[in-house]
């Protein structure tokens, strides 16, 4: 049994690493595909926990993640990226600088949030308590992605990464009832569609004088 | 239960008549007001839905502003030249927006409340681009990304509530024995930041002035008058689990102070009213956070009166924008020549700044009194100074727009009655409160 827990632990670590990969990427399409892969990993974690704990809701959750997050969301995102080369590639950003800033931001945030409060919250589904670090890392990465990029699609991916971290957090702390979880998924799906609609009209975001103050 | 379901279904049925949705939505909102009467007398025992006196006032507020906004929209939206969405689609979204707010207010489950709040973002986002421009697209984007990120953060709070109580049923949790654990404290703190994004708590308020200034006026009225209070209601229901008075009152106080400072240098009158909303919402948050009876009454009174007053202010702003084609305070002169618009603007601005005998004045008075009751003297002083600053800033700008210079604006193409009605209802709320209060005494 402990081997399965170790595998779950490693996959969860891989999910966080995929977050770093998204952060360090300039190609929007590749970032969207990685998000799909990240969702698949979350679904695998959910299936494995369902198998270990003999709890059918984890399987439903996993299936929902695969259908809604991995396929539908990724499909919408990839199809709505304008074909123009300048939209597919973020040339104006310095990846090295962003990655260093990301690390500083995450370390400070995690130190504050995890060490002060989350360290006292014991997971009911996983015996190793510090696994909660991974979803929190992913959450702050999502936040940083939204704040650090100007492209609409990159910001949408940051938001989805945040959502992914919450599923993972829920899975480890205590999964909320599946009816609520599925409503959340549908909400997010519609939001992604709206995001995509707006991204056609406004693919890049800059400061505007009219919205100052 | 049946009345609750009817309240949620009727606006959706009205949406089926898509070709005539403009009229069917108004009829639906009037039916909704009648249904509220039945709801008041048949609140029933908590089940999937839970409506008590507090939530009832919020539902009444939402329905009234929804009706007024629909009526005001008829002329306003029809006259928009560069529409981002069609007129019928606008009404469809308004109906969904209303249903999602009422759902969040009636449901007896923290998880579904979260879903309701998230759905308000979905249904209202595209309403912001009704008057399509590059600026309104940017404002819409900021609204979606900031609010969604914030509300997503609030979901951690829902997870922690479930972790602590193994249920998300509101009545089961707030009537259970008070628990003081780190998980619960964390859940409530996170809810302040998460739902606070939608309430307009500093520093996560940044979407608020952008969205309010770029949305069409009836939508700004819905945002300011009822959407923010709905988010505040959800935050209050979570706060009831374990009141962290110090944290919440300080958060409200700092937000009121910053809103008053921001109000001092506004050039755009819609942004000015947006910051006034931030100020009022945080005063209400402080009142609710004192967790006293007077604080609660004061907040409800403030919110009710503010919703009509602010709706009047935004409708008036819409008229002024239509007449002058500018949102710049300095460019508006001599509104006094347009009697109806100037009266409604002046009355509304008095309403939102807490002038007696408006309900906002009595609400603020009770809230300040409740702050003293819990011995938060430093906060009391900061709030009083901020209120004074906000009062001067808003009324100085409004009187300048009305009385300074001469103009030749025409009121022919704008709806002047609805803003005036909204402003007068705001006074009526205060007067009725005074009469009822005297009767009680």
Q: Smallest CA–CA separation between B224 and chain A, in Å?
A: 18
Closest-CA residue of A relative to B183 is A121
Spatial neighbors of B335 by CB under 8 A, at least 6 apart, are B320, B341, B342, B345, B401, B402, B407, B409
Question: Which of A200, A211, A212 should be substituted to probe chain B, the one whose Cβ sees the most B Cβ atoms within 10 Å?
Answer: A211
Interface contact flag, B163 A155, Cβ < 8 Å = no
Residue A126 has pLDDT above 60, yes or no: yes
Alpha carbon distance A110, A83 (integer Å): 38
Asked if B425 and B359 touch (Cβ cutoff 8 Å), the reply is no
Q: Which of A24-38, A124-138, A154-168, B259-273 has the lowest mean pLDDT?
A: A124-138
Residues in A touching B160 (Cβ below 8 Å)? 121, 173
Residue A136 has pLDDT above 60, yes or no: yes
Torsion of CA B169, B170, B172, B178, to 10 degrees: 130
Residue A56 has pLDDT above 60, yes or no: yes
Interface contact flag, A187 B118, Cβ < 8 Å = yes
Per the listing, tokens 């404290």 go with B185
Lookup: tokens for A48: 């494995």
The answer to whether residue B17 neighbours chain A at the CB level (below 8 Å) is: no
Confidence of residue A119 (pLDDT cuts 50, 70, 90): confident
Interface contact flag, B144 A210, Cβ < 8 Å = no
Asked if B387 and B364 touch (Cβ cutoff 8 Å), the reply is yes
Q: Which residue has the higher pLDDT, B287 or A148?
A: B287
The answer to whether residue B212 neighbours chain A at the CB level (below 8 Å) is: no
Interface contact flag, A170 B159, Cβ < 8 Å = yes
The residue among B265, B303, B309, B305 whose CA lies nearest residue B282 is: B303
Asked if A180 and B113 touch (Cβ cutoff 8 Å), the reply is no
The answer to whether residue B162 neighbours chain A at the CB level (below 8 Å) is: yes
Asked if B77 and B131 touch (Cβ cutoff 8 Å), the reply is no
Residue A93 has pLDDT above 70, yes or no: yes
| pLDDT tens digits for range A22-31 | 988 888 888 9
Task: Show which of residues 100-119 on chain B sit within 8 Å of chain A, judged by CB atoms.
Answer: 109, 111-112, 114-115, 118-119
Alpha carbon distance B187, B164 (integer Å): 9
Lookup: tokens for A39: 């969702």
What residues of A are in the B interface, CB distance below 8 Å? 117-118, 120-121, 124, 139, 142-143, 146, 152, 155, 158-159, 162-163, 166, 169-170, 173-174, 176-177, 180, 183-184, 187-188, 190-191, 194-195, 197-198, 201-202, 205, 208, 210-211, 213
Residues in A touching B114 (Cβ below 8 Å)? 180, 184
Confidence of residue A194 (pLDDT cuts 50, 70, 90): confident
Residues in A touching B266 (Cβ below 8 Å)? 213
Q: Smallest CA–CA separation between B123 and chain A, in Å?
A: 9
Q: Which of B111, B122, B125 sits opposite A176 (nearest CB)?
A: B111
The sign of the dihedral angle between the CA atoms of B398, B400, B404, B405 is negative
- Give one DSSP letter per residue of B81-135, joined into a string: SSBSS-HHHHHHHHHHHHHHHHHHHHBSBHHHHHHHHHHHHHHHHGGGGSB--HH
Q: What is the pLDDT of residue B441?
A: 54
Question: Which of B121, B137, B141, B244 should be substituted to probe chain A, the one whose Cβ sees the most A Cβ atoms within 10 Å?
Answer: B141
Confidence of residue A184 (pLDDT cuts 50, 70, 90): confident
Q: Smallest CA–CA separation between B390 and chain A, in Å?
A: 16
Q: What is the pLDDT of residue B14?
A: 92
Confidence of residue A72 (pLDDT cuts 50, 70, 90): confident
Alpha carbon distance B240, B177 (integer Å): 12
Tally of domains within chain A: 1
Q: Which residue has the higher pLDDT, A40 or A73?
A: A40
Q: Which of A152, A191, A208 sits opposite B148 (nearest CB)?
A: A191
Asked if B197 and B204 touch (Cβ cutoff 8 Å), the reply is yes
- Give one DSSP letter per residue of B268-295, joined into a string: BHHHHHHHHHHHHHHHHHHHHHTTSHHH
Q: What is the pLDDT of residue B306?
A: 95
Q: Which residues in chain B land under pLDDT 70?
A: 438-441
Lookup: tokens for B409: 């604006």
Q: Smallest CA–CA separation between A2 and chain B, in Å?
A: 24
Enumerate the domain spans of chain B. 244-441
Asked if B253 and B379 touch (Cβ cutoff 8 Å), the reply is yes
Domain hosting residue A99, numbered range: 2-211
């Amino acid at each position: 049994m402990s081997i399965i827990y170790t595998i779950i632990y490693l996959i969860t670590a891989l999910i966080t690493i995929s977050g770093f990969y998204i952060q360090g990427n300039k190609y929007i399409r590749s970032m969207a595909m990685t998000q799909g892969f990240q969702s698949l990993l979350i679904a695998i974690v959910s299936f494995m926990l369902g198998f270990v704990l003999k709890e059918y809701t984890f399987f439903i959750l996993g299936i929902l993640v695969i259908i809604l997050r991995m396929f539908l969301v990724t499909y919408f995102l990839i199809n709505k990226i304008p074909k123009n080369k300048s939209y597919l590639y973020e040339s104006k950003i310095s990846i090295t600088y962003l990655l260093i800033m990301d690390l500083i931001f995450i370390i400070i945030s995690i130190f504050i949030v995890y060490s002060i409060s989350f360290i006292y919250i014991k997971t009911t589904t996983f015996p190793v308590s510090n696994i909660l670090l991974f979803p929190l890392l992913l959450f702050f990465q999502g936040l940083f992605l939204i704040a650090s990029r100007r492209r609409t699609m990159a910001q949408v991916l940051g938001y989805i990464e945040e959502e992914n971290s919450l599923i993972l957090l829920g899975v480890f702390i205590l999964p909320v009832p599946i009816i609520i979880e599925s409503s959340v998924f549908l909400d997010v799906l519609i939001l992604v569609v709206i995001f995509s609609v707006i991204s056609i009209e406004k693919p890049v975001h800059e400061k505007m004088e009219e919205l100052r103050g | 239960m049946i009345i609750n379901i009817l309240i949620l279904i009727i606006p959706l049925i009205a949406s089926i008549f898509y070709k005539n949705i403009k009229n069917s939505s108004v009829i639906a909102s009037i039916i909704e007001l009648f249904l509220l009467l039945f709801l008041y007398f048949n609140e029933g025992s908590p089940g999937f839905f839970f409506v008590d006196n507090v939530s009832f006032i919020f539902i009444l507020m939402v329905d009234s502003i929804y009706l007024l906004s629909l009526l005001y929209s008829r002329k306003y939206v029809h006259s928009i030249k560069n529409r981002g969405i069609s007129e019928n689609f606008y009404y469809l979204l308004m109906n969904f927006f209303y249903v999602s707010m009422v759902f969040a207010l009636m449901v007896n489950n923290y998880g579904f409340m979260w879903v309701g709040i998230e759905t308000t973002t979905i249904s209202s986002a595209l309403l912001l681009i009704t008057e399509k421009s590059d600026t309104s697209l940017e404002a819409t984007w900021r609204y979606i990304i900031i609010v969604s990120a914030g509300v997503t953060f609030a979901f951690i709070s829902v997870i922690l509530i479930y972790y602590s109580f193994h249920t998300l049923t509101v009545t089961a949790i707030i009537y259970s024995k008070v628990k003081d654990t780190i998980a619960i404290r964390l859940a409530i703190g996170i809810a302040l930041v998460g739902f606070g994004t939608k309430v307009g708590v500093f520093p996560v308020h940044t979407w608020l002035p952008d969205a309010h200034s770029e949305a069409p006026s009836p939508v700004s009225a819905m945002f300011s008058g009822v959407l923010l209070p709905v988010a505040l209601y959800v935050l209050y229901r979570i706060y009831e689990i374990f009141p962290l008075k110090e944290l919440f009152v300080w958060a409200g106080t700092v937000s009121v102070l910053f809103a008053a400072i921001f109000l001092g240098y506004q050039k755009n009158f819609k942004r000015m009213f947006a910051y006034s909303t931030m100020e009022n919402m945080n005063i209400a948050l402080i009142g609710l956070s004192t967790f006293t009876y007077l604080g609660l009454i004061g907040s409800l009174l403030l919110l009710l009166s503010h919703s009509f007053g602010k709706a009047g202010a935004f409708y008036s702003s819409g008229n002024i924008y239509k007449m002058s084609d500018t949102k710049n305070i300095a460019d508006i002169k001599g509104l006094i020549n347009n009697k109806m618009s100037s009266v409604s603007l002046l009355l509304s601005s008095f309403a939102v700044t807490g002038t007696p005998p408006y309900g906002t004045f009595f609400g603020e008075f009770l809230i300040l009194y409740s702050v003293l009751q819990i011995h938060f003297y430093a906060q009391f002083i900061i709030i009083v100074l901020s209120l004074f600053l906000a009062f001067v800033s808003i009324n100085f700008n409004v009187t300048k727009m009305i009385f300074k210079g001469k103009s030749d604006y025409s009121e022919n193409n704008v709806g002047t009655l609805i803003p005036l009605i909204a402003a007068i209802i705001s006074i009526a709320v205060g007067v009725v409160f005074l009469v009822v209060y005297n009767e009680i005494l």
